[in-house]
Amino acid sequence: MSTLDGAALVEANGAAFHVDVTGAGTPVLLVPGAGGDARQYGELARLLAETHTVIAYDRRNNGRSPLRPDWAQTSVDQHAGDVAALLETLGTEPCVVFGNSTGALIALAAALKAPGRFTGAVLHEPALLGVLAHPDDAMATVQPVIAAGVEAGGLAGGAEAFVQFAAADAAAQLPPDFLDGLRTNARVLLEAEFGAFSSWRPEPGALSGMSVPLAVLSAEQTAPFFVEAAEWIASSAGTARRTVPGGHMGFLNHPRELAKEIDAMF
């Protein structure tokens, strides 16, 4: 399962990560999206921990993980390396990995990079803008939201406005401590991650040859470009995209349905 039980700061891949391990059983790793803070997955982790060992971590330079001096440059591949190194450090047996939005990109990249570490990958609402027919349209949707937030409250206001927009009807369920961490590390999201993550795309040939089973999920209440991205991944990997209840951050108000999708990978 894992050598860790509870919360700890874990060194891996040249960085330190806040890690929470709860429950017992077959392991599941939760990779957070925007904000990089596992506290957004609180209720989902609680449900999964009834039957699984749940590993939830704050990504490098986010949440309760320390801010490193070199925070200003990053990539999806660096974060995928973090995932593989973290699982190795923890001594975790092959697990199912779940990621939402940009966390889904990291989960996918990790499964491509180190397939032996995973028995399945669940990609919920992957923010894979690099494969869209009209990526500028997607950026045009969120840029005014961020700009208005920055004007009202600086970078912290921009980051919070972006995540509140992404959560939509589920925004009231965003944990206050998660929002505090988001505001604190707003520069990481907006200046280091946003551009680097939006330009990443996997090779279709790598997806078609994947040995790790994929579940590709889009939400009932989401933007068309998220459906387009999910469909591109699913068709490239030779699997079917499925639709699940809720919106882009549906794990906040539909955690039980997403827990069932993760359980199905076992």
pLDDT value at position 4? 64
CATH number at residue 229: 3.40.50.1820
In a domain, 212, yes or no: yes
User: What pLDDT is recorded for position 106?
Assistant: 98
Computed over every residue of the chain, the mean pLDDT equals 96
Each residue's pLDDT tens digit, 2-56: 566 788 999 999 999 999 999 999 999 999 999 999 999 999 999 999 999 999 9
Asked if the structure places residue 130 within a domain, the reply is: yes
Mean pLDDT of 112-132: 97
Does the global pTM surpass 0.85?
yes
Residue 236, in any domain of the structure: yes
Mean pLDDT, rounded, for 101-125: 98
Let me know if residue 50 belongs to a domain: yes
Please write the tens of the pLDDT for every residue from 163-221.
999 999 999 999 999 999 999 999 999 999 999 999 999 999 999 999 999 999 999 99
In sequence order, what are the residues at sequence separation of 6 or more whose Cβ sits closer than 8 angstroms to the Cβ of residue 138?
129, 132, 223, 225
Give me the pLDDT at residue 6, please.
82
Domain residue limits at 18: 6-264
Is 140 among the domain residues?
yes
The answer to whether residue 1 sits within a structural domain is no
Count of the separate structural domains present in the chain: 1
